């Protein structure tokens, strides 16, 4: 029910009050009368009046005095006053205005003029009430909204167009580990919650505060006090205006830490997959080129190459079944025997459970393949009575394999070392292991050690650097003219192929390393090589420190990697990259450009 508008009529003459009531009476208007000033004051304490019509000439307290009292009290100060008087002299009028009256009505008053003047105050009061009703509804809506915001399960914050925080719910404060006193405004919150990105976050939110945009989204890292960083997807949008006309902006955050971490993991896995595929392709290419060098005819090449690829493929399948977490040595042996080139009954295998990391498992597969291949071609397994005994045992952080052949043809040390023996030795030493062979009269003996965990270095000793021919400067054509290189590569076959290609082009490998520690040691030496070929990732570890050591010495180098340019160490994005797999021509082209850089520096 709408409360009526109230007028106060004050006159000591009853007839005058009756006349006023008769003229003003209408729906929606409630008239209250008083015959004196004190009686009017009592009514003013009880009711809210939209207008007071007061007679000037009253005994005891006249109209001027009543008006002055009303203007002196906070409760009645804003009530409009129209004075009723029989006199019209200027002094009397001035005194009335001075007392706080807004208008005069002269007796006897014209009913039409009376209604017209009072209707203005009736409408003003109705408009005031409507505005107050709207303001009350807005304030009530704000209160309901703030209560809903406080109870919301998602982090929420409400602020005005100046960035002043009106309310922030418990989720918003809790996830940022802040108190309400810490976030008087958005700028203070941003400095505490996301210090590394405060400026761009505030810039984006500012477009909504200013009205330039209705809605923005920004992803940022949140740094709670004493807790790991979180990732927030923050959405800010205008939601209306406050009761006093200010623009209101609601910020809603969603914790996407797990999703962001999953995306980072996905990118990492894709990069790792890309790296492994390219490394595998580079290994296959090296196997092909090395096998071709050692083969006398196409049939022999096809047989050797296919066997090595099949051994590598079996190891890949085994690792894939284990999601590339590693593989058991016994399973690797079983996969090699399953290829069918050797009768299992002629192989005695014994040893404890030993788990190898992925790269070492691939190396073990290639080593076992070469051991069986040599035994079938030249050793004990080349005759029906021959046998092989393979035993292994764990020794600290390595596993030692002992291969013994018996019952085969007479054994004599070979005149030159073949590719298979070189592959076994180089592969074992690449991970920090070793391989030694003895040619006993009754059979070949191998002792191979492989790391159970990540291994150490495989480093060739530094040799004196040969002086380059003075009249044969290095060129991009592939003639390296005595250039000495540091080779850092953890894939032994790739290292062997690079070594062979550079040596055939007139270069020299002064030193090689397959681990981060050994590469850093060699890169820090004051002499020994002219340039370096640097694998950008050694067993999962970036080589930024190695690259920095080479740069400090002024040694030109290139990266060699299966990863893309985005995975190069920070600060070395301009260093040339030779992507795996690569051809011999591409390798020599890159090495030749290094040679030209060395020549320019000299």
The residues, ordered by sequence, that sit 6+ positions from 585 with a Cβ below 8 Å of its Cβ are 478
Q: How far apart are CA 79 and CA 342, in angstroms?
A: 113
pLDDT at residue 460, as a whole number: 31
Examine the pLDDT at 459 and tell me if it is beyond 70: no
Give the residue-averaged pLDDT of 183-202. 91
Q: What sign results for the dihedral spanned by CA atoms 124, 129, 133, 135?
A: positive
pLDDT at residue 147, as a whole number: 73
> Among the listed ranges 38-52, 223-237, 254-268, 371-385, which one has the minimum average pLDDT value?
254-268
| Sequence spans of domains, the chain | 5-131, 152-255, 272-294+458-602, 299-451
Give the residue-averaged pLDDT of 442-446. 93
Q: How far apart are CA 168 and CA 190, in angstroms?
A: 14
Give the residue-averaged pLDDT of 351-360. 90
Give the residue-averaged pLDDT of 335-359. 87
- C-beta of residue 166 within 8 angstroms of C-beta of residue 160: yes
pLDDT at residue 562, as a whole number: 76
Examine the pLDDT at 418 and tell me if it is beyond 80: no
> Among the listed ranges 14-23, 30-39, 411-420, 444-453, which one has the minimum average pLDDT value?
411-420
Which secondary-structure segment (H or E) carries 488? Answer: strand 484-488
The residues, ordered by sequence, that sit 6+ positions from 337 with a Cβ below 8 Å of its Cβ are 344, 347
Alpha-carbon Rg for the chain, nearest whole angstrom, is: 47
Q: What are phi and psi of 403, to 5 degrees?
A: -110, 125
Q: How far apart are CA 100 and CA 65, in angstroms?
A: 10
The answer regarding whether domain 152-255 maps to CATH 3.20.20.70 reads: no
The confidence band for 443, taking pLDDT boundaries of 50, 70 and 90, is: very high
pLDDT at residue 471, as a whole number: 37
Average pLDDT score, the chain? 84
Q: How far apart are CA 30 and CA 40, in angstroms?
A: 15
Q: How far apart are CA 563 and CA 568, in angstroms?
A: 8
User: Scanning the structure block, which residue is given the tokens 């005058």?
Assistant: 16
CATH architecture of the domain covering 5-131: 3-Layer(aba) Sandwich (3.40)
> Among the listed ranges 83-87, 236-240, 401-405, 592-596, which one has the minimum average pLDDT value?
83-87
Residue 458 half-sphere exposure, CB side, CA atoms within 13 Å? 27
Token pair for 300: 């022999």
The confidence band for 468, taking pLDDT boundaries of 50, 70 and 90, is: very low
pLDDT at residue 53, as a whole number: 93
Q: How far apart are CA 103 and CA 120, in angstroms?
A: 12
Give the residue-averaged pLDDT of 32-57. 92
Token pair for 207: 């477009």
Angle ∠(537,540,545) on CA atoms, nearest 5: 50
Q: What sign results for the dihedral spanned by CA atoms 94, 100, 103, 109?
A: negative
Give the residue-averaged pLDDT of 266-282. 71
Query: What does pTM read for this prediction?
Result: 0.47
Q: How far apart are CA 242 and CA 140, in angstroms?
A: 11
Give the residue-averaged pLDDT of 250-264. 86
- Bigger pLDDT: 216 vs 465: 216
pLDDT in tens, 154-190: 898 889 999 999 888 888 888 888 988 998 999 999 9
- Bigger pLDDT: 279 vs 477: 279
* Packing angle of the helix pair 257-294, 298-321 (nearest 10 deg): 160
Q: How far apart are CA 265 and CA 274, in angstroms?
A: 14
pLDDT at residue 175, as a whole number: 86
pLDDT in tens, 539-584: 778 899 999 999 999 999 999 987 778 778 888 989 999 987 777 8
Fold identical between 5-131 and 272-294+458-602? Answer: yes
The residues, ordered by sequence, that sit 6+ positions from 279 with a Cβ below 8 Å of its Cβ are 491, 494, 562, 580
The residues, ordered by sequence, that sit 6+ positions from 134 with a Cβ below 8 Å of its Cβ are none
The confidence band for 2, taking pLDDT boundaries of 50, 70 and 90, is: low
Q: How far apart are CA 382 and CA 84, in angstroms?
A: 136
Examine the pLDDT at 223 and tell me if it is beyond 70: yes
Q: What are phi and psi of 447, to 5 degrees?
A: -125, 115
The confidence band for 272, taking pLDDT boundaries of 50, 70 and 90, is: low
Q: What are phi and psi of 560, to 5 degrees?
A: -125, 115
Kindly give the residue spans of alpha helices, DSSP state H, lying in 446-543.
492-504, 516-523
Examine the pLDDT at 462 and tell me if it is beyond 50: no
Examine the pLDDT at 273 and tell me if it is beyond 70: no
Examine the pLDDT at 368 and tell me if it is beyond 80: yes
Which secondary-structure segment (H or E) carries 137? Answer: helix 111-151
User: 541-542 and 230-241: which strand pairing?
Assistant: unpaired
Examine the pLDDT at 474 and tell me if it is beyond 50: no
Q: What are phi and psi of 50, to 5 degrees?
A: -85, -20
Give the residue-averaged pLDDT of 468-481. 48
The CATH number of 299-451, from 2.60.40.1080, 3.30.565.10, 3.10.20.30, 3.50.50.60, is: 3.30.565.10
Can you name the CATH fold of 272-294+458-602?
A: Rossmann fold (3.40.50)
pLDDT at residue 472, as a whole number: 36
């Amino acid at each position: 029910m709408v409360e009526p508008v109230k007028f106060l009529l004050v006159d000591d003459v009853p007839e005058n009050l009756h006349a006023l009531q008769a003229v003003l009476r209408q729906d929606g208007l409630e008239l209250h009368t008083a015959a004196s000033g004190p009686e009017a004051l009592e009514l003013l304490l009880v009711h809210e009046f939209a207008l007071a019509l007061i007679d000037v000439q009253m005994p005891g307290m006249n109209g001027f005095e009543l008006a002055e009292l009303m203007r002196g009290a906070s409760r009645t100060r804003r009530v409009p006053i129209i004075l009723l008087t029989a006199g019209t002299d200027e002094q009397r009028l001035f005194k009335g205005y001075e007392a706080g009256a807004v208008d005069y009505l002269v007796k006897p008053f014209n009913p039409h003029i009376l209604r017209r003047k009072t209707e203005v105050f009736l409408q003003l009061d109705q408009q005031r009430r409507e505005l107050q009703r709207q303001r009350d509804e807005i304030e009530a809506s704000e209160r309901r909204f703030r209560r809903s915001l406080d109870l919301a399960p998602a982090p929420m914050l409400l602020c005005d167009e100046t960035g002043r925080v009106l309310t922030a719910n418990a989720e918003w404060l809790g996830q940022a580990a802040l108190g309400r006193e810490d976030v008087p405004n958005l700028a203070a919150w941003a400095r505490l919650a996301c210090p590394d990105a405060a400026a761009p976050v505030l810039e984006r939110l500012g477009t909504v505060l200013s009205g330039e945009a209705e809605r923005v989204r920004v992803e940022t890292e949140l740094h709670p006090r004493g807790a790991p960083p979180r990732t927030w997807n923050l959405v800010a949008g205008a939601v209306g205006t406050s009761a006093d006309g200010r623009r209101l902006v609601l910020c809603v955050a969603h914790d996407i830490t797990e999703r962001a971490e999953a995306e980072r993991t996905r990118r990492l896995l894709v990069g790792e997959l890309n790296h492994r595929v390219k490394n595998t392709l580079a290994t296959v290419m090296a196997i092909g080129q090395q096998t071709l060098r050692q083969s006398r005819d196409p049939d022999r090449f096809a047989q050797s190459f296919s066997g090595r690829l099949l051994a590598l493929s079996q190891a890949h399948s085994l690792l894939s079944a284990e999601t590339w977490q590693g593989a058991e040595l016994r399973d690797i042996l079983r996969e090699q025997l399953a290829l069918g080139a050797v009768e299992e009954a002629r192989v005695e295998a014994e040893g404890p459970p030993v788990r190898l990391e992925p790269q070492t498992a691939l190396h073990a597969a290639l080593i076992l393949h070469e051991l069986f291949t040599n035994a079938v071609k030249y050793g004990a397994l080349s005759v029906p009575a021959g046998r092989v005994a393979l035993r292994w045992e764990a020794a600290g952080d390595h596993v030692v394999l002992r291969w013994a052949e018996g019952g085969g043809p007479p054994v004599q040390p070979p005149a030159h070392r073949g590719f298979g023996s070189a592959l076994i030795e180089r592969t074992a030493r690449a991970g920090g292991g070793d391989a030694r062979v003895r040619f006993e009269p009754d059979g070949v003996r191998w002792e191979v050690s492989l790391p159970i965990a990540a291994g150490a270095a495989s480093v060739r000793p530094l040799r004196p650097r040969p002086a380059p021919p003075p009249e044969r400067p290095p060129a991009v054509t592939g003639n390296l003219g005595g250039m000495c290189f540091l080779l850092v590569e953890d894939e032994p076959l790739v290292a062997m192929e690079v070594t062979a290609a550079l040596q055939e082009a007139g270069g020299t490998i002064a030193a090689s390393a397959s681990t981060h520690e050994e590469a850093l040691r060699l890169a820090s030496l004051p002499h020994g090589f002219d340039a370096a070929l640097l694998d950008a990732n050694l067993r999962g570890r970036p080589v930024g420190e190695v690259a920095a050591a080479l740069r400090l010495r002024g040694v030109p180098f290139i990266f060699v990697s299966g990863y893309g340019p985005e995975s190069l160490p920070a600060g070395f994005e301009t260093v040339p990259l030779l992507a795996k797999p690569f051809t011999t021509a591409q390798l020599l082209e890159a090495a030749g450009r290094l040679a030209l850089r060395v020549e320019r520096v000299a």
